Structure formats: structure tokens, C-alpha cells
């Protein structure tokens, strides 16, 4: 029990230093601070993803692999795994349904969003892996029908996995 109290004290000390206060905040202030930190954390995560992609493009142009690209990949992976793990432990990513109609409606929404995500991911991967990166690396575009078919199949698999995972997070209360 002492360990957890020490960990909480350390977190509170870091939190106060980061915010720039010397005393505890009230409940409303904490809620607003947490909202700002959450939003800025999301923005910073997307910014590091963008920087990682830019670094990958630069590495591709120079035919090298830079430490910065690998470091940004590792930081983003660790952050994503930590956030996802913490949300799942607390079951904060579940969706509750109280009626069959609501359940069917949520499944329909998930099917649509999963399909759109799969299409966007497939197009992004096709363009980046078959057009952009080969062009920057060799100066030539590397495209053929089997490769297009490969990315179409990969996009279908990706969207199906997203759909199955999302549907598994729907909690039926009927």
C-alpha cells in the first residue's frame, strides 16, 4: 500500500509542476485541466505521427534509416499501447445498448465507419507503398494489378477486423 501512495504522490508532484501550481486544485479546475491535457495529448500524438511520416519520407529519399524515425515509431507505439490498455482495463471503450433496435443501429454505424476506415487505410497504403515511397526511393513508380489487388484484400481484412473488434465492445443490456 505504501508503494501506491508513493506513486500517487509522485504523480501529484509532476502534475503540479507541469501545471505550475503549488496547491491542489478543486474538482472543477481538475476536470478542466484534464480536458485540456487530454486534447493537447491527442494533438501531440498526431503531430508525432506526422513527424514520423515526414522522417520516413526523408529517410526514403536518402536511402537511410534515421534514429529519429525509429524513436518516433517506438514512442508512438508505446503511447498507443499504454492508452489502449488503460482504456480497456477500465472498460471505457465499451458501448452500452439497452434495446435490440439500438444494438442493430450501432452495428450498422460500425459497419459503415469500419468500411470507410478500411477504404481510407487501403488507399493510403496503396499510394504510399506503391507510388510515393518507390518514387522517392528509386525515382520510379512500382505498380501492378497484383499489388493493387493485394492492397484491396488487405483493406477488406483491415475493415473486417476493425468491425469485429468494435462489435465485440458493444455491451447488450437487454
- Encode pLDDT of 57-112 as tens digits: 999 999 999 999 999 999 999 999 999 999 999 999 899 999 999 999 999 999 99
Measured between alpha carbons, how far is 104 from 102 in angstroms, rounded to an integer? 5
Which pLDDT does position 169 carry in this prediction?
93
Q: What pLDDT was estimated at residue 1? A: 46
Query: Which of 137, 141, 126 is closest to 59 using CA atoms?
Result: 137
Residue 3's pLDDT is 53
Angle at alpha carbon of residue 88, lines to 82 and 93, rounded to 5°: 115
**What is the pLDDT at residue 49?**
96
Question: Around Cβ 140, how many Cβ atoms within 10 Å?
Answer: 8
Q: Burial, 3: exposed, middle or buried (Cβ in 10 Å; 0-12, 13-18, 19+)?
A: exposed
Residues 6+ apart with CB under 8 A from 134: 140, 141, 142
Q: Residue 113 has what pLDDT?
A: 97
Rounded mean pLDDT, 120-148: 91
Q: DSSP letter string over the chain? A: -HHHHHHHHHHHHHHHHHHT-SS---HHHHHHHHHHHHHHHHHHHHHHHHHHHHHHHHHHHHT---HHHHHHHHHHHHHHHHHHHHHHHTTTT-EEE-SHHHHHHHHHHHHHHHHHHHHHHHHHHHIIIIIIHHHHHHSS----HHHHHHHHHHHHHHHHHHHHHHHHTEEE--
**How many Å apart are CA 121 and CA 18, to the nearest integer?**
36
Report the alpha-carbon distance of residue 112 to residue 167 in Å, rounded.
Answer: 12
User: Which cell is 135 given?
Assistant: 518514387
Amino acid at each position: 500500500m505504501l508503494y501506491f501512495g508513493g506513486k500517487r504522490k509522485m504523480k501529484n508532484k509532476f502534475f503540479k509542476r507541469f501545471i505550475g501550481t503549488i496547491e491542489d486544485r478543486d474538482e472543477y479546475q481538475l476536470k478542466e485541466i484534464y480536458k485540456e491535457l487530454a486534447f493537447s495529448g491527442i494533438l501531440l500524438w498526431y503531430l508525432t505521427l506526422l513527424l514520423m511520416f515526414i522522417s520516413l519520407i526523408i529517410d526514403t529519399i536518402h536511402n537511410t534509416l534515421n534514429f529519429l524515425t525509429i524513436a518516433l515509431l517506438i514512442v508512438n507505439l508505446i503511447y498507443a499501447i499504454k492508452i489502449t490498455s488503460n482504456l480497456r482495463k477500465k472498460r471505457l471503450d465499451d458501448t452500452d445498448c439497452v434495446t435490440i433496435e439500438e444494438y442493430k443501429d450501432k452495428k450498422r454505424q460500425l459497419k459503415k465507419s469500419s468500411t470507410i476506415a478500411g477504404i481510407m487505410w487501403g488507399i493510403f497504403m496503396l499510394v504510399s507503398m506503391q507510388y510515393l515511397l518507390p518514387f522517392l526511393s528509386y525515382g520510379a513508380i512500382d505498380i501492378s494489378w497484383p499489388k493493387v489487388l493485394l492492397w484491396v484484400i488487405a483493406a477488406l481484412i483491415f475493415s473486417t477486423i476493425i468491425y469485429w473488434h468494435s462489435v465485440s465492445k458493444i455491451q447488450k443490456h437487454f
